[in-house]
Every structure is written in structure tokens, then in C-alpha cells.
Amino acid sequence: MRNILTTIRYDGRSYHGWQVQENADSVQARFQEALYRVIGEQPDIKGCSRTDAGVHANMYCVSFRTEHTIPADRLPLALNRFLPRSIAAVSAADVPEDFHARYSCRGKEYIYKILNSPVRDPFLDGYALHYWQRLDHNKMNEAAAHFLGCHDFTSFCTSDPHRKKGDFHRTVKNISVTRSGELVTVTIEADGFLYNMVRIIVGTLLYVSQGRIQPAEIPGIIDSLDRKKAGPTAPPEGLYLNRVFY
């Protein structure tokens, strides 16, 4: 029995996230269909994360066990024959028996793209949040620095009935807000993320730029453990799972 790690990329606009759902299309369902066409079986596949509807992935990792003998380096090309154009297999490798795409993960990096322009760009529709009000990325960076380190991020998490209550502490290792012309990008790396954590942090940073929240208020919002004190949940279209660390 082999354990194979496959890395894919996908455009999330047409999917209701990664996870298989009864009445909606998902990335996992399409991947499973393509994998069955290649190896003739439906193994229990493990995804590195659960992305929401409309969220994209520059890097997403999947592991599964199989007795099929296809060389790992040939698997991506074989999968791409059957995957839709919105999903691409990038690489594959044999990994140790105890490797798990989710539980072996040491951290992830997300990026959130914001088109900061009075005029929308049709070529970025669905790939970046269009935000017309001028963003003060320096002020946003000042606020973002307060998220660094280990904190209880209850204030930056949406309640999810499908997930059990647990430890809401996460360690943010890097966070930055950068501007390149009209494109503002928020980058966050952490050892793990709570449900909607990145989108709520982004929404809070947008409030900071508007002056509705001051940078110095961020520690108090974190300590309050009160979701109502943070900013809104930013829309999904600007969010990308960018890197996964093992």
C-alpha cells in the first residue's frame, strides 16, 4: 500500500469549497472523479484544509493510499486529462505511511487580494475584492503587527456548527499588507486558522483604514474574545490558500 501526496491548484469561483456536499459542486468531488478515472478506485482522500465557496488555492495538498502502481511523477499529467480546466494537478510524490495531508501540516499561508481602485477590473472579477475607498496600507500594517504571536482568536472566528468547540489559540508567524499599484495584498502565515479567521482579520483591517477601528484597539479586541468587536467578514473572492508547510 502506497501513500501519495498530490498538490493541486484551483479557481474556486465555480465550487462550494473543497469538501463534498450533497447539492453543490466541490473541488473534492471533481478530484475524486478524476482520480477514479486514473486508478479505477475511490480511496479515502485527505485534504489539507477546508476552503469555502469562492475561495481559491495556489497550493492545495491531498493525500491518499492506493495499491496502484502508477509512478508518482506521471500522476499529475494523468489527472489533468480528466480534471476540469479550473483545477490542475501540479505534482505528486510517495510519502511515509503515517503522512496525513491535514494533520502533518505545520502551517499555512493565505493571501487576500484587494483591487483598490475607483474603477472595477473585469479581469479581476471573482479574483480580488473591488474596494473603491483609498486604503491606508501603512495604517493597516501598524494594526496587523498586533496579530503576531500566539493568541486566542475567538474574536476573529465565525461559529461553525459542524466543528466541535476546542482550543482557539493560533500562532501568527508573519502578516503584512503590501501595495503594488492598485493591488493591495494581505499575507498571513500561521500554524493554523479558525473558520473565516483570515477574512475577519481582513475585514477588521479594512475598518482600520476607514478609521472605524484604531490600530491600538486590536489587542483589546483580541483579548475581548467577542466576535462583535472585530470588523466584518470580508467576501471570499479575494482569498487564496497560497502555501502549505510540512
Query: Which residues are 186's β-sheet partners?
Result: 112, 177
Q: Which of 242, 145, 232, 245 is nearest to 185 (CA)?
A: 242
Q: Which of 164, 162, 145, 165 is nearest to 222 (CA)?
A: 145
Query: Which residues are 187's β-sheet partners?
Result: 111, 176
Residues 70, 68: Cα–Cα separation, whole Å: 6
74: left (phi over 0), alpha (psi -120 to 50) or beta: alpha
Query: Which residues are 5's β-sheet partners?
Result: 63, 93
Q: Which three cell numbers stand for residue 216?
A: 491600538
114 phi, psi to nearest 5 deg:
-130, 120
Q: Which three cell numbers stand for residue 58?
A: 495556489
Strands 169-180 and 149-152, bridge-based pairing: antiparallel
Query: Which residues are 88's β-sheet partners?
Result: 9
Catalytic residue among 25, 52, 152, 191: 52
Distances in whole angstroms, Cα of residue 83 to Cα of each of 33, 92, 222: 8, 15, 42
Let me know if 52 is a catalytic residue.
yes
Q: Indicate the angle between helix axes 197-210 and 137-144, nearest 10 degrees.
A: 130
Active site residues: 52
